[in-house]
Amino acid sequence: MKLFVLNGNEVKVADDHPHLLSALREELGVTSPKDGCAPSGQCGCCTVLLDGKAVVSCQVPLSRAEGKHVVTLEGVAEDERRPSPSGALSSAGSASRASCCGPRA
């Protein structure tokens, strides 16, 4: 089992996920990070904050997330979700990432 803090709550996930994105979506049911190209790490649809730094979660092995704080869109206050240059997750976005629009529910 791997332990980390997700949106302020300690969570445990199985060791066998290929990356953080898989653990978030498949085990924890967190669907705001999308799988647009995993595991290539090119589209940015799976961006989360890992200890305050934007990362593409399909490129993060669980061992790297262990003991750290992960924030997804679900953990961002409503008033901080609006797209803006100062938005919480915008630091990860390039123009191509911002245009990613193939969400899988």
Residue 97, both tokens = 């990432």
Closest listed residue to residue 8, CA positions, set 80, 70, 87: 70
Instruction: Give least dist CB 10 to ligand FES, A.
Output: 24
> Which of 7, 31, 42, 90 contacts ligand FES by CB under 6 A?
42
Instruction: Give least dist CB 93 to ligand FES, A.
Output: 12
Which residue number, 61 or 79, has a Cβ lying nearer to ligand FES? 61
**CB-based contact 24:4 (threshold 8 Å):** no
Per-residue binding letters, 53-72, with ligand FES (x by CB under 6 A):
---x-x--------------
d(CA 22, CA 14): 10
